[in-house]
């Protein structure tokens, strides 16, 4: 499919889960020549106690995934993602013709040295509902994914992600009243207004730029941004990411 993949944690049936998904294909999906969803369900041999994959089984799971893609993907078959939960790893594909799918999967699994219990199947899904409604991340998940990308960019510039600093956040609104209500709301959480604008092009012409001193660490920034994300939604606005200086020898800025 595409080269734009990312992962995010979630819960499935109230159990920890992790999804790795082709985000890039969303721009052109659903593909009319691939109207069937197909899957391979792998029962992991050495999962973690919480049902997710373990380091000990990492290499074996990679071999299975590579073998399935090599044997199954091509014209008429596209691999779009996987979900790991409850000691299982489910691989999802979209295909043109469901006939012979089970036999192809069996042949692929026969060629793998590691022994795994598995099942497979297909179902009509011309709208790609499994991709859009199950595999694809929600808006909050996407924000967390963007947070990781910015943290990684900071690290590439030499940032250790351990130093507190001013972090700026942007949110957009359709009018001044909702923007002011948002600013007052987040002020209770310690955010201060740095700039307010009313000349932004588009439907949401009002922008509030607020800041607070925080540490842009992987395990801390999600809580910060999701607080602002929720506040913007309460006031009919859109949270639009964050920016901070790099705490390294050469100063720079990275943004989400």
Residues 100 and 192 in one domain: no
Last residue of one domain, picked from the residues 100, 135, 170: 135
pLDDT for the residue 114:
85
Residues 64 and 129 in one domain: yes
pLDDT for the residue 132:
98
Residue-number span of the structural domain to which 60 is assigned: 5-135
Instruction: Give which of 150, 114, 128, 116 is closest to 81, Cα–Cα.
Output: 128
Residues 170 and 203 in one domain: yes
Q: Which CATH number belongs to the domain containing residue 159 in this structure?
A: 3.30.70.970
Residues 105 and 192 in one domain: no
pLDDT for the residue 85:
98
Residues 87 and 209 in one domain: no
Residues 124 and 147 in one domain: no
Q: Which CATH number belongs to the domain containing residue 37 in this structure?
A: 3.30.70
Instruction: Please tell me the total count of domains within the chain.
Output: 2
Neighbours of 75 (CB within 10 A): 7
Residues 237 and 120 in one domain: no
pLDDT for the residue 210:
99
Instruction: Give which of 225, 88, 80 is closest to 150, Cα–Cα.
Output: 225
pLDDT for the residue 16:
97
- Per-residue pLDDT of the chain (256 residues), as tens digits, is 899 999 999 999 999 999 999 999 999 999 999 999 999 999 999 999 999 999 999 999 999 999 999 999 998 999 999 999 999 999 999 999 999 999 999 999 998 888 999 999 999 999 999 999 999 999 999 999 999 999 999 999 999 999 999 999 999 999 999 999 999 999 999 999 999 999 888 888 999 999 999 999 999 999 999 999 999 999 999 999 999 999 986 555 566 6
pTM assigned to the model: 0.84
SS3 212: strand
Residues 99 and 205 in one domain: no
Residues 125 and 10 in one domain: yes
The whole-angstrom separation of Cα 146 and Cα 140 is 10
Residues 154 and 58 in one domain: no
Residues 19 and 127 in one domain: yes
Instruction: Give which of 47, 37, 45, 38 is closest to 17, Cα–Cα.
Output: 47
Last residue of one domain, picked from the residues 85, 109, 135: 135
Last residue of one domain, picked from the residues 118, 135, 152: 135
Residue 54 carries which DSSP code? P
Residues 120 and 162 in one domain: no
Instruction: Give which of 78, 71, 121, 81 is closest to 96, Cα–Cα.
Output: 78
**Pairing relation of β-strands 165-173 and 238-245?**
antiparallel
């Amino acid at each position: 499919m595409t080269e734009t993949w990312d992962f995010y944690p979630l819960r499935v049936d109230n159990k920890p889960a992790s999804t790795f998904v082709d985000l890039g294909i969303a721009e052109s999906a659903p593909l009319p020549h691939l109207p069937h969803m197909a899957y391979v369900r792998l029962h992991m041999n050495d999962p973690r106690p919480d049902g997710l994959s373990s380091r000990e089984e990492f290499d074996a799971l990679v071999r299975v995934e590579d073998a399935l893609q090599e044997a199954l993907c091509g014209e008429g078959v596209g691999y779009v993602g996987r979900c790991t939960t409850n000691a299982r790893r489910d691989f999802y594909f979209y295909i043109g013709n469901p006939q012979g799918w089970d036999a192809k999967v069996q042949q692929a699994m026969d060629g793998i040295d590691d022994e795994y219990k598995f099942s497979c199947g297909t179902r009509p899904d011309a709208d790609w509902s499994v991709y859009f409604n199950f595999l694809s991340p929600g808006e909050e998940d996407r924000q967390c994914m963007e947070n990781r990308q910015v943290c990684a960019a900071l690290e590439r510039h030499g940032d250790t992600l351990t130093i507190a600093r001013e972090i700026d956040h942007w949110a957009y609104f359709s009018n001044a009243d909702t923007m002011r209500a948002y600013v007052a709301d987040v002020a209770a959480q310690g955010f201060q207004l740095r700039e307010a604008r009313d000349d932004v092009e588009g439907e949401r012409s009002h922008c509030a730029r607020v800041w607070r001193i925080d540490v842009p660490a992987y395990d801390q920034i999600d809580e910060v941004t999701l607080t602002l994300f929720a506040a913007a939604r309460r006031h009919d606005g859109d949270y639009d990411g964050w920016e901070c200086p790099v705490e390294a020898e050469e100063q720079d800025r990275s943004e989400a």
